[in-house]
Amino acid sequence: MGRSPCCDESGLKKGPWTPEEDQKLVEHIQQHGHGSWRALPKLAGLNRCGKSCRLRWTNYLRPDIKRGKFSQEEEQTILHLHSILGNKWSAIATHLPGRTDNEIKNFWNTHLKKKLIQMGFDPMTHQPRTDLVSTLPYLLALANMTELMDHQTWDEQQTAMSNLQAEAVHLAKLQCLHYLLQSSNSSININNNNNSSYDQNAIITNMEQQEPLSLLNTISNVKQNTIIDHAATFSSSQPLHHQSMILPHDNFLDPQQVSFSSQSCLNNEQGQNGTITNYAMISQREEDYPIIDHQTSWINVPSSAPLSIPTNAITGDASSCTSSYGGAPSAAPYWSELFFEDPIMHDLS
Q: Which residues form the interface with DNA (CB under 7 A)?
A: 1-3, 5-7, 13-17, 35-39, 50-52, 54-56, 58-60, 87-91, 101-103, 105-107, 109-111
Burial class (CB in 10 A: 0-12, 13-18, 19+), 58: middle
Write down the least CB distance from residue 323 to DNA, Å: 15
Return the number of the residue (98 or 248) whose C-beta is nearest DNA. Answer: 98
Write down the least CB distance from residue 241 to DNA, Å: 24
Return the number of the residue (3 or 202) whose C-beta is nearest DNA. Answer: 3
Return the number of the residue (34 or 223) whose C-beta is nearest DNA. Answer: 34
Write down the least CB distance from residue 14 to DNA, Å: 4
Helix or strand or coil: residue 155?
Answer: helix
Residues 6 or more apart in contact with residue 14 via CB below 8 angstroms: 7, 52
Contact between residue 131 and residue 139 where contact means Cβ atoms under 8 Å apart: no
DSSP structure string for 227-243? EEEEE--SSTTSPP-EE
In 247-334, at which residue ranges do the beta strands (DSSP E only) sit?
291-293, 298-300
Q: Which of 239, 42, 15, 10 is nearest to 128 (CA)?
A: 239
E strand or H helix at 80, and its extent?
helix 72-85
Write down the least CB distance from residue 131 to DNA, Å: 20
N residues, the chain: 349
Write down the least CB distance from residue 333 to DNA, Å: 28
Return the number of the residue (62 or 346) whose C-beta is nearest DNA. Answer: 62
Write down the least CB distance from residue 105 to DNA, Å: 6
Return the number of the residue (12 or 160) whose C-beta is nearest DNA. Answer: 12
DSSP structure string for 311-324? HHHHHT-GGG-B-T
Return the number of the residue (59 or 300) whose C-beta is nearest DNA. Answer: 59
Contact between residue 69 and residue 111 where contact means Cβ atoms under 8 Å apart: no
E strand or H helix at 245, and its extent?
strand 242-246
Residues 6 or more apart in contact with residue 186 via CB below 8 angstroms: 260, 261, 262, 282, 309
Return the number of the residue (81 or 299) whose C-beta is nearest DNA. Answer: 81
Return the number of the residue (68 or 274) whose C-beta is nearest DNA. Answer: 68
Write down the least CB distance from residue 46 to DNA, Å: 11
> The dihedral of CA 307, 311, 316, 317: what is its sign?
negative
Write down the least CB distance from residue 240 to DNA, Å: 23
Contact between residue 124 and residue 86 where contact means Cβ atoms under 8 Å apart: yes
